[in-house]
Structure 1
Amino acid sequence: MAAWKVVRDSFADHDVPSTLMGVTVLGYKDQLVEIEAVAAVLDS
């Protein structure tokens, strides 16, 4: 999938966990969707 290639190229050798979500229907034409997430690494 072309979108995954862009994500992988952006992070180079660092393989980060990611989720690609497709949106097929929006409330109105040209509506945008923003998804924000936060990740944390805990040292034990």
Structure 2
Amino acid sequence: MTAWGVVRTAFGDHDVPSTLMGVTVLGYDGQLVEIEATAAVLDS
């Protein structure tokens, strides 16, 4: 299953805004990557 397939399965009919970026090579060996995310849950 593709990455987008996993996202669609997890969120169902709710189409969420998202960005998927692939990184094939980092600048140098041992480089770390920081990922930041914000999520909100609204009570219905």
TM-score, normalised to structure 1's length? Answer: 0.59
The sequence identity of aligned pairs, in percent, is 77
- Please give the alpha-carbon distance, in whole angstroms, between the structure 1 residues aligned to 2:32 and 2:11: 25
Structure 1, gaps ≥5 residues long: none
Could you tell me which runs of 5 or more consecutive residues in structure 2 were left unpaired when the two chains were aligned. Answer: none
Kindly tell me the number of residue pairs found equivalent between the two proteins.
39
Q: Which stretches of structure 1, 4 residues or longer, exceed 3 Å deviation after superposition?
A: 31-34
Over the residues paired in the alignment, what is the CA RMSD in angstroms? 2.6
